[in-house]
Structures are given as C-alpha cells and as structure tokens.
Structure 1
Amino acid sequence: MNMAQKPMTKTQLVAALAEEMGADKKTAGAALDAVTSVVTKEVAAGGAVTLPGIGKVYCRERPERMVRNPATGEQIKKEADKQVKVTVAKALKDSVNG
C-alpha cells in the first residue's frame, strides 16, 4: 500500500479479516469490535495491551505543566491528563522496511 492511498475503512478491514479468517463478515466484525472493546477498557483503566506483531497500546499519565499559548505567547497551567500512546512492534517495522 503506498502512502497516497486512503486508510482502510472499517468495512474494508472487516471484509479483509473475514477473508483471512475464512469466516463471514458478521463474525469478523464481531471479532474486530471485541478487540476494540478490550483494548479501550484496558487502556482507559490505565493498563496496556500488546497486539502481537503490531505493537503496544498504553496510557501514560502526564503531570500538571506549564504550556505556552502559541497565539498570545501567554504561559498557562495545563492540568494533569492522560495520553494514549502506541509503540510499534519491531516485527512490523522490520517488515515495512523489508
């Protein structure tokens, strides 16, 4: 897939999964929704999920900090918040770089 192409839609992903699994689209869609649900719940609870061969999705807490408003240059305090991060698996990076 080259960079100019649009990302796969959920419909296309479900169809491709169904083909890969030798299952119907309903089953593949349910599997995708289940993975999404598990990852969302786990990461929202502060945990992490490793998707083998893809990467790790995790939540990182950021402390309260000072940030600058680029429009005004004014320094403002930003409350502590959480950030979702993804670390890409080495296997995926290696396969992309051939």
Structure 2
Amino acid sequence: MNKQELVDAVAAKTGDSKAATGEAIDAVIATITGELTKGKTVQLIGFGSLSTGARAARVGRNPATGAEIQIAAAKTVKFTAGKAFKDAVNGA
C-alpha cells in the first residue's frame, strides 16, 4: 500500500474528502517526524512505538572492489510493534 492508497482507504472509511484526509495524514507524519527529530519517543497505543537510536561508526567493505571503507555513525529509527498489532498480524 502506498500513500495514495492509504488516503483512499481512510477517506472511504471516514467519509471525508480525499484532500482533507491527505492533509490529515501529512499532518500526522509531520508531527511524528518532528517529535522523533527532537529525540522523543512516539507511542501509538495498540500499534507500536517509534524512537530513535544510534548506530556506531564501523568498517565495511565495497562489494565491487573488496576495499575497506569507513561507514559513518548515524541515527536510526526503531519501531517496536504493540501487542494488539502483533496479535492482529498473527491472527490471534
């Protein structure tokens, strides 16, 4: 499912226009992104939690040449699925 399909599905369930639904989804995504960039955790009860983590710098290998390369440290996004979400996916 891509973003437009999500907008279509939510608009069909809520009865709102696709334009209004698209703006609402954009607002939710922007808010979550803003909170994560501040280093906060976003918890959606029944769905899961999004948080940031750190990946240390490391040495990797160029697959084409086999040469060692330095991979810089980076921030990552972590998702932990909630119990209700896990149960729904597992059919429980």
- Cα distance, 1:70 vs structure 2: 5.5
Query: Structure 1 stretches (4+) deviating beyond 6 angstroms?
Result: none
Instruction: Report the counterpart of residue 81 of structure 1 in structure 2.
Output: 74
Instruction: Report the counterpart of residue 16 of structure 2 in structure 1.
Output: 23
1:3-48 CA-to-partner distances (Å, cap 9, x unmatched) read xxxxx12111101111222211111111100011011111122222
Give the letter for the 1:12 counterpart.
E
TM-score, length-normalised on structure 2? 0.78
Give the letter for the 1:85 counterpart.
K
- Cα distance, 1:80 vs structure 2: 2.3
Identity of aligned residues (%): 45
- C-alpha distance in structure 2 between counterparts of 1:15 and 1:75, whole Å: 47
| Structure 2, unaligned runs of 5 or more | none
Give the letter for the 2:48 counterpart.
G
- C-alpha distance in structure 2 between counterparts of 1:33 and 1:14, whole Å: 10
- C-alpha distance in structure 2 between counterparts of 1:53 and 1:11, whole Å: 24
- C-alpha distance in structure 1 between counterparts of 2:20 and 2:34, whole Å: 21
- How many residues align? The count is 91
Between 1 and 2, higher relative CO (CA 8 Å, sep ≥ 6) is seen in: 2
Any idea what SS the aligned residue of 2:50 has? strand
Matches within 5 A, 1:1-98: 8-68=1-61, 76-98=69-91
Backbone CA RMSD of aligned residues:
1.9
- C-alpha distance in structure 2 between counterparts of 1:74 and 1:45, whole Å: 36
Tell which deviates more after alignment, 67-76 or 49-58.
Answer: 67-76
